[in-house]
Structure 1
Amino acid sequence: MGMYKILLEDSIGYDFTLIAIHGSLEPYYLAYLLNKNLEVRLSRTREDLLLTQYDSTTRYPCFEFNDKQQYIDYYVFSNKSKVAINSEVSTGLFEAQQSLKTAYFIPELQQVDYFIKVIEDGNAFAKAKTLKTLNQIPQIVTAYDVDVNALKNKEHLIFE
């Protein structure tokens, strides 16, 4: 009698496109520029993306658009957020000092300001055309495709 060997794949397939954006813009202004140039209708989500970092909950602003015609979902979110850290050292008159620290949604890409996550059903999303359009916006320094499989904290990107 033959033996059968079952191989289980341990990795999750990430079937979305992730685009990094560099540019020091306010989140609402970036959403406005993307709406104007990409012909989407991004709107602020009811709840921000939340991560627990530095013993506190960090909020990252998020915008979304669900294109029901082409079956494409767009998510635009910030990579940087400020977190108030309580110092444990007593400094005399005040019991504890608070300091602001920058937290990153994807820590290995600290130079990135925003991400666009595009989930598609089929081949309707034109990545090259979108990147070309993003790089032509004067307020955006640069935009490029990110290899999701190379990221250490890719679990943060699983949300909807």
Structure 2
Amino acid sequence: MLLCIFLTCLNVMGMYKILLEDSIGYDFTLIAIHGSLEPYFLAYLLNKNLGLRLSRSREDLIIGNREEEASYPFFEFNDEHQYVDYYVLSNKTKIEVEAKAVIGLFESEKTLKTTYFIPEMPQVDYFIKVVEDGNAFAKAKALKILNQISHIVTAYEVDVSSLKNKEHLIFE
């Protein structure tokens, strides 16, 4: 991730105004995957077809606040020879929330609610984040292989700059 900060001085009617603008450049590739697979099975398919060694992270990614904290399954592989890091994470998870109290016999009832890692893309089941040092990652080849896997409905690159919740993707 690259962070650029620009300072601009404006002279407005004899007063100087300093504007601070930040521009974050994302130096990773984000691939969306559609397919109703279990996380471990997707990791197995990616390991088999892309020659990776993804393993489950000791801790899931946790996003949210105290009332609604969501935990997303997370797999990772650091390819030290190619200088590429791969992260596979689920876009959907279910959390238990308390339903609004209604006058009646059951005052506090818990229900399951589906939450999304990237809420503006609820149709996506998984994301692959590829962080590379240089141009070692062959996007076109990987996408072609992913789309040939029978259990995956489709896979495509996501334009990170168009996402509202791109800060969720800043982890390592």
Name the TM-score, length of structure 1 as normaliser: 0.93
Superposition RMSD on alpha carbons, in Å? 1.6
The match for 2:123 is 111
| Pairing 1:57–2:69 present | yes
The match for 2:158 is 146
Shift, 1:10, TM fit: 1.4
Superposition pairs of residues 81-96 of structure 1, within 5 angstroms = 81-90=93-102, 92-96=104-108
Name the larger-Rg structure: 2
Structure ranking higher on relative contact order (CA contacts 8 Å, 6+ apart): 1
Quick one: structure 1 residues 101 and 145, their matched pair in 2 at CA, closer, same or farther if it must change by over 3 Å? same
Range with greater deviation from structure 2 (92-101 or 131-140): 92-101
| Pairing 1:130–2:130 present | no
Shift, 1:56, TM fit: 1.9
Matched residue of 1:108: which SS?
coil
Residue deviations 1:44-80 (CA, integer Å, cap 9, x gap): 0000000015822100000000000000000000000
Letter of the 2:35 counterpart: G
The match for 2:59 is 47
| Pairing 1:33–2:20 present | no
The alignment-based identity, stated in percent, is: 70
Query: Any stretches of 5+ residues in structure 2 without a counterpart?
Result: 1-5, 9-19
Residue deviations 1:7-52 (CA, integer Å, cap 9, x gap): 4541211110000000000000000000000000000000000001
Query: Any stretches of 5+ residues in structure 1 without a counterpart?
Result: none
Indicate if the aligned counterparts of 2:7 and 2:21 stay in contact, CA closer than 8 A: no
Q: State how far apart, in whole Å, the 1-side matches of 2:37 and 2:130 are.
A: 20
Residue deviations 1:116-154 (CA, integer Å, cap 9, x gap): 000000110000000000000000000000000000000
Matched residue of 1:88: which SS?
coil
How many residues are treated as equivalent by the alignment?
Answer: 156
Q: State how far apart, in whole Å, the 2-side matches of 1:120 and 1:59 are.
A: 26
Matched residue of 1:41: which SS?
coil
Structure number with higher strand proportion: 2
